Structure formats: structure tokens, C-alpha cells
Structure 1
């Protein structure tokens, strides 16, 4: 895995370097926001994973994340933050980060999060032969909605839902493949994020909010809130 770690605390980078070497990952280190963004922009398609500190000199992590998402809506981003503020974490997720880890953190926990995110982002590509990657068959297809996990595309009334991050796509797919089934936040954390968040349900809410905004750009809202329980996908109310 080719990783870009943007972290101004050199001791954190040095600590993680030991664990990255153990995984045999190719890691580039940047120590301020502008340096990290420049490294990313030099060749955006080369990166398999970004770890991004929120509190950076020169250019803060929020700005870096926003600029990265303008170029690549899909590169996996894990935000690292020493701040314990819910608003900081939610802002990071709403800007397009796929996950966040609060400092101080266990190196093994960060490695596990990175592996889980990378596995989700690359599983489909690894399983499909090159000759079959472009496939017009839809894994989910209703009267109004369709999704193709091979091309990572989703449509509402034949209008593309653009700019979905890997986690947003997986979240939409998890809900849509079982229409009208209500999922609790805990279930979605386990199914979509592939590991326990120990009750941190803000992650689901932030991703649902961002996903809804992208859906509403093309048509009616199909992700419904079931108050006190969780969320469900339902396109039965979409007008003809």
C-alpha cells in the first residue's frame, strides 16, 4: 500500500514508521499542510491511503482535505486529530474524510483502521478481471434506483449520483440492497466500517448527511430516518 502521512508531530511519524515498515508499506511523510497537499497533487492517482492531521502548520487539515476531494472524491482519507471536539470530527467527515482517529491513539488501532478502509476500497477491483471491469449490469435495480458495484456508480431516475466517497458508496449499497429494512447506527458501523466504533455513532450521522446532500442534487431523498432507531432506504415514494 502506498501511503501519504501528513503529520507535523515528528515523534508520531517516527513511531508509526516502525509499524508501517512491519507492514511493508511504502510511506511518504509530509510535515505541514502545504507540503502534504503538494505531494498529493504531484500524482493523485498513486496514493492508496492518506492519513491527515487536523491541526497542521501552513495549511490546516480541513483545507487540505477539501482541496484533495476536489481532485479525487475516492482516495481513502483517515483524519488524525488531537482535538476531542465533536464539531471538529464531524466537520472532517462532512468534508469527505472516510474515518478519523483521535490522539493519543494506539498504532495497532490506526493500522487496523487503515487495513479495513483499504480493504473496502479495493475489494471489488481485486476480484474482477480487467476484461470485466466495465459492466453495465446493475447489482441493485428498482424502478427508480440502480447501482453497479463494479463501476462504483449509482443512479436515481437515470441521473448519476456523483462524487461518492468509498464509504458513502458502501453505505448507500448496504441500505439499498435491503430496501425498507431499518438499520441501527450500530449495525451500519459494523457492516460498513468493518470494525467496532464503540458507540461512536456520529460517524454514521455525518456520512448520512453528506450522502443525502449528493442524492438531493439529482432527485428526491431516498434515505429515510426512522426516529429512535436508525436509517432505511426507500424509493417507493419517488414520483413517476
Structure 2
């Protein structure tokens, strides 16, 4: 399984790799929305899941989300953010997020969400 992590914080990338240190799991990384969209445009892009941060420079996650969905309508995307209002959650889901996770989250929470979304466990 391949997970595409899109977050401007390198520490979040490291934390996710540590939390999800499982066999047969690989990671691809982008540090802003522009990098993410460019990666998704590549013909060989094949992530099973995108973990997308909301607040990033150049192109925010909420701006990136519909661009990715336009390119790959069936892509599984979990928004990761400290934004926790119902309006924010609703906006993300309306723009194409598959699920939403509020930072900070625990290993159990992220693995539970991923397992549920990808049906079959890790």
C-alpha cells in the first residue's frame, strides 16, 4: 500500500512514518499543495491514500482537494487539520475528502481511519 503525505511540516511526515511503520507500506511526500497536484498529475501516480493537511503555503489543502479530485475522482483522501468546526468538516467533505482527522491524533486513531477506509486492514 502507498500513502501520499501532503503536509508542510517535516515532523508530521516523520511522525506518520513512525506511526505507520508496517510491512508493505510505502510513502510518497509533498510539502505543499502545488507539489501535491503536480505529483498527482504524473501518469505513474498510484497512492492508495492521500493524507492532506489543510493549512500549507502556496496552495492550501482545502484548495488542493478539489484539484486532486478533478484529476482522480475516486482518490481516497483524509484531511488532517487542527480545524474542528462543523463548517470546516462539512466544507472538506463537500470538496471531496473521504474522511477528516483532527490534529493531534493518536496512532490508534489514524490506523483505525485508514483501515476502515481501505477495507481490509493493514
Number of aligned positions between the proteins: 120
Counterparts of 1:1-240 in structure 2, within 5 Å, are 1-43=1-43, 46-119=46-119
Point out which structure has higher relative CO (alpha carbons under 8 A, 6+ apart): 2
State whether residues 89 and 100 of structure 1, in contact with CA within 8 Å, keep that contact through their aligned partners in structure 2: yes
Q: What is the root-mean-square deviation in Å for CA atoms of aligned residues? A: 1.6
Contact 1:44 1:72 in 2 (8 A): no
Taking a change above 3 Å as real, the CA distance of residues 44 and 62 of structure 1, as seen in their structure-2 partners, is farther
Q: Please, which runs of 5 or more residues in structure 1 have no aligned partner?
A: 121-240
Q: Output the TM-score relative to the length of structure 2.
A: 0.89
Whole-Å separation in 2 of the counterparts to 1:33 and 1:4: 12
- Runs of 4+ residues deviating >4 angstroms: none
| Deviation of 1:65 (Å) | 0.7
Q: 1:55 to 1:112 in 2, by over 3 A?
A: same
Unaligned 5+ segments in structure 2 are: none
- Aligned-partner Cα distance in 2 for 1:62–1:116: 23
Contact map agreement 2:39 2:45 (CA 8 A) in 1: no
- Separation in structure 2 between the aligned mates of residue 74 and residue 112 of structure 1, nearest angstrom: 20
Separation in 2 of the partners of 1:74 and 1:99? 13
User: How many angstroms does 1:23 deviate by?
Assistant: 4.3
